[in-house]
């Protein structure tokens, strides 16, 4: 879809729906990227995707090796020494893509990690130790020099085809940290300076890595009265990748035309278990607020990918929306017969079609960028898979951007996670688990951060899930009572809401929010003053069936609904103009809409499914994901 037509459609959507949610208009003002990407050359596939109308091509001008020990890039090294470059390697990479797809437009990933020849010069490798590299002025200066020289050459030679640059550094080039709290001379010096600047006095001590894996309260929550150094250390630790990315982005922004965008992998709150606090992304709100970065990227959820799972992003996409940014959903799952990366979770070609459609549907419902990541090649070799991707692109071109239709809000709270010992098994309560269960109940949900609540219109949310909110300061308590825990809303808590106020730790505070004592067995539903509290100490009790009952009592609208435990639980992605339903079992399904619409259209076939209705019945394959457009 041409960008001018897309922006006009966005304006029309806001006018017709009478809505301008925070950040929605600004988000729709950004370019929509639907892209093909691979680490490998994959020139034949590049040409095939170009012929399908997907002419955006992302390539990685990489100088480093991946976590498996293989080069990220099949072309020669570009950055060969300080101020020494082999630009012919870049020209060969871009030139080959143009030969394969003459209309190609580039998303260019710039590798900011340490080439092998520089690891001994700096005595570090930013791939494995990004927080340590960020503390080294020489590393930052030399890497910035390389980045600016790269941009200058790329703009001169290929600028007419380049639409954006993606700044890539840290672990797997996604800005995350492997060190789990390990110290070094550079990082220790930076820690001392960070504390001094904030008036913090912990003597000469730096929290040792083993001590960070122990906490005073149930070995899970640090006590601010006795373990303030651990909480502060994780705040410092997470600030470092953010600082580095912001510094590089500010320099890149000055070096490229204003019409071109900058992207980055960042903001993975819904990340794999047992690295929540040390991963290095908790300072994502500061990064998302940057005027120098236009969109953020994350792979699809790794823990809920089998057919029947609910997908979702690892980053907090609502916070990106709040700041007027898009996010990019990376679809990187191998086909059923690709053993290296598919891991056997998709079993048949039907799974491949339903799974890839589900991933694209998630992006479409959220007005998001997305790319088909043919990671090591061969993901899209089956013509039927490519036919489906082509149909999805045609559906995308017809879509009108629209605000979310969700009545459920999942709230991520990075400020609380600084208090968490990530090595305790109970930390799983605060990350992916609840999102994975919510995604299956037949009603869509939004994902935002706690600080977003200050500016969001909360009126349409009937169920708010604050499963990671351990920290409730007096200021937070006042806001929660006035804006969140009010208006007949249902609020869901997990483990120990409000166990700390930022100064002390006391489990007795939990009752004020949970309505029952800390560790009360089971799931407790407690009528409060003008709202309802739902609490469980045990996060595993929040399964799709229980969440269906909770959301139903809260008055949430279900597009499809399980009526008993052994019914099928179906993920739904929806905005005001689109509904997508993912099914394992297939068969006849009745879909209930929140309002009467003039026409329901199958977005993949163009077939009119129903007219002048608020419900319709249609058939699903086994398995299947179907996308329906709604028009008034």
Residue 4 has pLDDT above 70, yes or no: no
Q: What is the pTM of this model?
A: 0.95
Looking at per-residue confidence, does 28 or 562 come out higher?
562
d(CA 105, CA 586): 38
The DSSP output letter for 335 is P
| Rounded Cα distance, 245 and 530, in Å | 44
pLDDT band at 28 (very low <50, low <70, confident <90, very high): low
Rounded distance between C-alpha atoms, residue 621 and residue 247, angstroms? 50
Across 72-195, the runs of DSSP E, i.e. the strands, are: 79-81, 84-85, 105-111, 162-168
Amino acid 346: pLDDT = 92
Residue 310 has pLDDT above 90, yes or no: yes
Alpha-carbon gap, residue 20 to 16, rounded angstroms: 11
Task: Give the residue, 99 or 70, on which the prediction is more confident.
Answer: 99
How far apart CA 593 and CA 444 sit, in angstroms, is: 12
What is the reported pLDDT for 13? 44
The H or E element that residue 43 is part of is helix 43-51
How far from 417 is each of 234, 303, 393, 398, 427, CA to CA, in Å?
9, 20, 38, 41, 9
**595 has a pLDDT exceeding 70:** yes
Residue 30 reports pLDDT greater than 90: no
**Domain parsing of the chain, residue ranges:** 31-293, 408-554, 572-631
Answer for the pair 505, 517: CB distance below 8 angstroms, yes or no: no
- The predicted pLDDT at position 20 comes to 53
pLDDT-above-90 percentage for the chain? 89
**pLDDT tens, position by position, 360-401:** 999 999 999 999 999 989 999 999 999 999 999 999 999 989
Q: What is the DSSP string of 571-619?
A: -EEEETTEEEEEESS-EEEEEEEEEEEEEEEETTT--EEEEEEEEEEEE
324 bridge partner residues: none
Say whether 260 sits in a helix, a strand or coil.
Answer: coil
The answer to whether 121 and 178 are in contact (CB under 8 A) is no
To the question of domain 31-293 being in CATH 3.20.20.80, the answer is: yes
Question: What are the pLDDT digits (tens) for 208-226?
Answer: 999 999 999 999 999 999 9
CB atoms within 10 A of CB 487: 12
By CB neighbour count within 10 A (0-12 exposed, 13-18 middle, 19+ buried), where does 213 fall?
middle
- Average pLDDT in the 614-625 region? 98
Domain 572-631, what fold? Immunoglobulin-like (2.60.40)
pLDDT in tens, 408-453: 999 999 999 999 999 999 999 999 999 999 999 999 999 999 999 9
Give the right CATH number for 408-554 from 3.40.1110.10, 1.10.3080.10, 2.70.98.10, 3.40.50.880: 3.40.50.880
What's the CA gap between 137 and 117, in Å, rounded?
18
Q: Which residues in 598-620 are b (16+ Cβ under 10 Å) and which e?
A: eebbebbeeeebbeeeeebebeb
CB atoms within 10 A of CB 86: 14
Average the pLDDT over 287-307 and give the result.
95
Distance CA(287)–CA(243), nearest Å, equals 8
User: Tens digit of pLDDT for each residue in 457-513?
Assistant: 999 999 999 999 999 999 999 999 999 999 999 999 999 999 999 999 999 999 999
């Amino acid at each position: 879809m041409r960008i001018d037509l897309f922006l006009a459609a966005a304006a029309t959507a806001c006018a017709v729906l009478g809505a301008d949610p925070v950040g929605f208009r600004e988000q729709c003002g950004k370019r929509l990227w639907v892209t093909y990407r691979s680490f490998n050359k994959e020139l034949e596939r590049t040409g095939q995707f170009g012929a399908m109308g997907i002419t955006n091509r992302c390539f990685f001008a990489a100088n480093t090796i991946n976590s498996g020990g293989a080069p990220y890039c099949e072309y020669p090294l570009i950055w060969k020494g300080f101020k020494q470059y082999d630009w012919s390697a870049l020209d060969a990479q871009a030139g080959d893509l143009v030969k394969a797809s003459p209309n190609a437009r580039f998303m260019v990933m710039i590798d900011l990690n340490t080439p092998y020849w520089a690891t001994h010069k700096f005595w570090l490798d930013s791939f494995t130790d990004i927080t340590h590299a960020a503390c080294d002025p020489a590393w930052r200066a030399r890497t910035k020099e390389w980045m600016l020289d790269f941009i200058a050459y790329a703009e001169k030679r290929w600028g007419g085809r380049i639409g954006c640059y993606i700044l890539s550094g840290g672990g797997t080039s996604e800005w995350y940290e492997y060190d789990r709290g390990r110290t070094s001379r550079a990082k220790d010096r930076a820690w001392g300076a960070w504390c001094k600047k904030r008036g913090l006095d912990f003597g000469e001590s730096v929290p040792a890595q083993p001590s960070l894996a122990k906490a005073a309260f149930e070995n899970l929550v640090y006590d601010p009265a006795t373990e303030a150094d651990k909480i502060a250390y994780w705040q410092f630790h997470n600030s470092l990748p953010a600082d580095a990315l912001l510094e590089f982005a500010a320099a890149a922004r000055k070096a490229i035309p204003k019409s071109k965008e900058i992207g980055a992998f960042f903001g993975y709150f819904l990340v794999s278990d047992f690295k929540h606090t040390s991963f290095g992304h908790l300072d994502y709100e500061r990064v998302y607020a940057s005027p120098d970065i236009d969109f953020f990227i994350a792979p699809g959820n790794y823990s809920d990918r089998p057919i029947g799972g609910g997908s979702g992003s690892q980053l907090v996409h609502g916070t990106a929306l709040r700041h007027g940014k898009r996010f990019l959903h990376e679809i990187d799952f191998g086909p059923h017969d690709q053993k290296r990366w598919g891991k056997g979770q998709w079993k048949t070609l039907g799974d491949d079609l339903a799974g890839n459609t589900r991933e694209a549907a998630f992006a479409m419902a959220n007005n998001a960028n997305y790319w088909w990541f043919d990671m090591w090649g061969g993901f899209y070799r089956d013509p039927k898979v490519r036919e489906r991707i082509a149909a999805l692109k045609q559906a995308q071109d017809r879509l009108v951007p629209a605000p979310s239709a969700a009545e459920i809000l999942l709230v991520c709270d990075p400020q609380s996670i600084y208090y968490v010992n990530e090595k305790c098994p109970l930390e799983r309560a605060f990350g992916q688990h609840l999102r994975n269960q919510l995604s299956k109940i037949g009603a869509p949900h939004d994902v935002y951060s706690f600080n977003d609540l200050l500016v969001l219109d909360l009126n349409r949310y009937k169920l708010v899930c604050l499963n990671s909110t351990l920290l409730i300061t007096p200021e937070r308590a006042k806001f929660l009572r006035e804006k969140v825990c009010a208006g007949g809303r249902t609020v869901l808590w997990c483990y120990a809401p409000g166990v700390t106020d930022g100064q002390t730790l006391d489990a007795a505070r939990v009752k004020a929010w949970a309505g029952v004592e800390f560790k009360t067995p089971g799931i407790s539903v407690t009528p409060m003053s003008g709202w309802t509290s739902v609490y469980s100490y045990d996060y595993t009790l929040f399964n799709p069936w229980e969440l269906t009952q909770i959301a139903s009592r809260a008055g949430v609208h279900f597009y499809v609904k399980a009526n008993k435990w052994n019914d099928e639980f179906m993920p739904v992605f929806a905005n005001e103009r689109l509904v997508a339903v993912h099914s394992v079992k297939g068969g006849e399904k009745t879909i209930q809409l929140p309002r009467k619409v003039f026409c329901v259209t199958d977005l993949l076939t163009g077939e009119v499914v129903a007219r002048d209705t608020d419900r319709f019945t249609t058939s699903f394959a086994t398995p299947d994901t179907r996308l329906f457009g709604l028009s008034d």
